[in-house]
């Protein structure tokens, strides 16, 4: 679960502090170095905080894209994805492939847990 805070990494846009839910560096450690194969979810308001409190990006649509890009934050437990992600993809701000990867992470966990198995199993 990503948190509300920001971490000090110098990213490609030269931000000195990156909200954890938008951090490609944290995604790299989680997925590439540690081999994590589950899904990453946000704390309830953490995605909203990317633009509303950290002012990391200008709006909610852009927030969705920086959070979901490369599987950084697969699930938003708040409402920012619900309200804006489809519009962000339709506007070309991020790709359907990014969203599909997030869905893949969430459904792979559910399959491993047996949530789609017959009830008698």
Active site residues: 43
Tokens read off for 104? 């893949």
Give the residue from 73, 44, 71, 49 showing the smallest Cα distance to 60. Answer: 49
Q: How far apart are CA 22 and CA 66, in angstroms?
A: 5
Q: How far apart are CA 42 and CA 75, in angstroms?
A: 6
Q: What is the DSSP letter of 45?
A: T
């Amino acid at each position: 679960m990503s948190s509300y805070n920001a971490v000090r990494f110098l990213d490609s846009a030269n931000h000195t502090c990156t909200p954890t839910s938008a951090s490609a560096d944290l995604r790299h450690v989680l997925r590439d170095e540690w081999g994590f194969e589950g899904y990453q979810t946000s704390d309830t308001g953490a995605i909203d905080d990317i633009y509303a409190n950290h002012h990391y990006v200008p709006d909610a649509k852009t927030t969705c894209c920086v959070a979901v890009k490369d599987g950084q934050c697969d699930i938003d437990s708040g409402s920012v994805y619900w309200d804006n992600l489809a519009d962000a993809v339709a506007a070309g701000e991020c790709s359907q492939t990014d969203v599909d990867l997030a869905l893949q992470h969430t459904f792979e966990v559910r399959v491993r847990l047996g949530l789609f198995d017959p009830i008698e199993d």
